[in-house]
Amino acid sequence: MSIVVTGATGALGRLVIDALLAAEVPADQIAAVVRNKDKAAGLAARGVELRIADYSEPETLAGAFRAGDRVLLISGSEVGQRVAQHTAVIDAAKAAGVAQLAYTGVLGGPDADFQLAAEHKATEELILGSGLPYTLLRNGWYTENYTEHLAPVLEHGAVVASAGEGRVASAARADYAAAAAAVLTGEGHLGQAYELSGDVAWSFAEYAAELSRQTGRTIEYRDVPAQTHLGVLTGAGVPEPFAEILVDVDAAVGRGLLERRSGDLARLTGRPTTPLADSVSAALATAR
C-alpha cells in the first residue's frame, strides 16, 4: 500500500509530498503520479516512487494505482477538459481497488454556482457514483491566487476587482496541502466532505490596505463593473474565456460564496490557517 499523489509536480502536489514526509511517512511508501519524469527528478532523489501517467491518456493510468493505495486526485488545471481527465483517474482507481480516493474540489461543493465550480461538482458526482471509498476536500481559495500576481498591483498601485464588498476566506496553499496529508494518513475520513477555508475572511479593501502597510506605498482597491474588469484582464493578455471565468469568480465573492468558514481546515491541520499578512510578506520577499 502506498500513498499516491497525482499531479505531484504541481504547486499543490509538491507541498502535499512535503507534508507527508514532514509527517514521517517513509518516502518509499509515497508514490508520485507525474507526466514528466525529468521534472520529478527532485522527488525521486528524495526516495519517492515515480509512476508516469497522464490524465489525458487513460491507457497510461492503468499502472498508476495498486490495490489498497490511498490516492489523492489533485484536480487538473485544464478548464474544460477536467471531467474527462478525472473520469479516467476514477476509472483507473476503481479498477485497481484503491482503499481511498481523496479529491480536491471547491468550497461549497454542490452549492457552488459559479462557472469554475461546474467541473468540480461533476467530478464529485462521478466519485460518489463509483462506489469508491472517498474523501472530498472542498478547497477554498489559495491566498497565492492573489499574492503570486503582485507585479501589476504594485506597478499601478491598485487592486482591481469586481467583487464589491465581498470577502474571501483564503488560506495558504501549504495549509490545504497539510489537510490533504492529514486525511491520507489518518483514520475516520472515509465518506467525509470537508469544507476547507481560512480562519479569517478578508475584503479586497483590506487586502489593499495590507499591501500598503507592508510596502509603505498607497495601494487602493478599485471596485469596477464586471465588464470593465473583463476588459482589464483581456487587456493584460488573459484569454477572454478564462477572463470571463475570473470575473464570474468575483461575482461569486460578491455573493459571499468564498467567505464560508467551517473551521475544517484548522481542525484537520491542528493549527490556525496562515494569516493574510504572512502570505503577503512572503510574496513581497520573493518579489524583491
Q: How many CB atoms lie within 10 A of CB 148?
A: 15
pLDDT at 77: 81
- Assess contact for 129 and 161: CB atoms under 8 A: no
Q: In this structure, which CATH number among 3.60.21.10, 1.10.10.10, 1.10.3720.10, 3.40.50.720 belongs to the domain 3-140+173-196+261-273?
A: 3.40.50.720
pLDDT at 1: 81
What is the spatial distance between Cα 94 and Cα 163, in angstroms, rounded to a whole number? 40
Q: What residues pair up with 136 in beta bridges, in sequence order?
A: 103, 193
pLDDT at 80: 81
Q: What is the mean pLDDT of each run of 10 residues along the chain (288 residues)?
A: 95 97 97 94 96 94 95 90 95 97 97 95 98 98 95 95 98 98 98 98 98 97 97 94 95 97 98 98 89
How many residues would you count in the chain?
288
> Do the strands 202-203 and 167-168 form a parallel or antiparallel pair, or are they unpaired?
antiparallel
- Assess contact for 148 and 119: CB atoms under 8 A: no
pLDDT at 260: 95
pLDDT at 252: 97
